[in-house]
Copies of this chain bind each other. A is one copy, B any other.
């Protein structure tokens, strides 16, 4: 066991995790994240940059960093984005430095991102924890998309079509959490359990026996 005065607790402290929360448009990623923040979960929540217009109730620097197309271009060209995507004609990007600094401080990083973005992150950080938030059924997902009154019928139809496609990415994820209507706290508890469990995974520990 080497030096027995070193405790196993110290020898086996896991590295901080990069947790990727994704799933189809309308499934409730934002609401889930908001609830985790409210409950005070000790994660570093990455704030994505986006060129899409702010929706009612969204707060700059909390929900997203809302930036201009010019600023997005600049960040992209100078390599400041870990990942970026074009979703429904709007651009989204993950600021690399934010993630890197949080991990360096030993904080677990939680990243809410669309399915396209998650696929890119998976290539760059295969050791991340990939969680797919799924609806209880496709009908329920469509109901949720309809409930959003912010969109034109054409955009809604397109969103539904894309959401169906996004569902097909599920088998590429590590975990699936079903986000049932009115059961947000159950969803959050399952995500928390996944993170607790991942910290107990033997392959994540620097074991020195």
Question: Is there an interface contact between B1 and A138, defined as CB atoms closer than 8 Å?
Answer: yes
Question: Is there an interface contact between A177 and B200, defined as CB atoms closer than 8 Å?
Answer: yes
Please indicate the chain B residues that have their CB under 8 angstroms from the CB of A124 in the complex.
none
Scan A1-27; emit 1 where CB is below 8 A from any B CB, else 0.
Answer: 100111111001000000000000000
B190, B197, B202: the one contacting A170 at CB < 8 Å is B202
Question: Is there an interface contact between B207 and A200, defined as CB atoms closer than 8 Å?
Answer: no
Please indicate the chain B residues that have their CB under 8 angstroms from the CB of A33 in the complex.
none
Scan A110-149; emit 1 where CB is below 8 A from any B CB, else 0.
Answer: 0000000000000000000001101111111000000000
Q: How far is the CA of A189 from the CA of B165 in the complex (A)?
A: 37
Size category, A interface: 35 or more
Q: How far is the CA of A9 from the CA of B209 in the complex (A)?
A: 42
Of chain B, the residue at the smallest CB distance from A142 is B4
Question: Is there an interface contact between A202 and B171, defined as CB atoms closer than 8 Å?
Answer: yes
A41 contacts partner chain B, Cβ-Cβ < 8 Å: no
Q: How far is the CA of A181 from the CA of B85 in the complex (A)?
A: 49
Please indicate the chain B residues that have their CB under 8 angstroms from the CB of A168 in the complex.
209
Question: Is there an interface contact between A200 and B190, defined as CB atoms closer than 8 Å?
Answer: yes
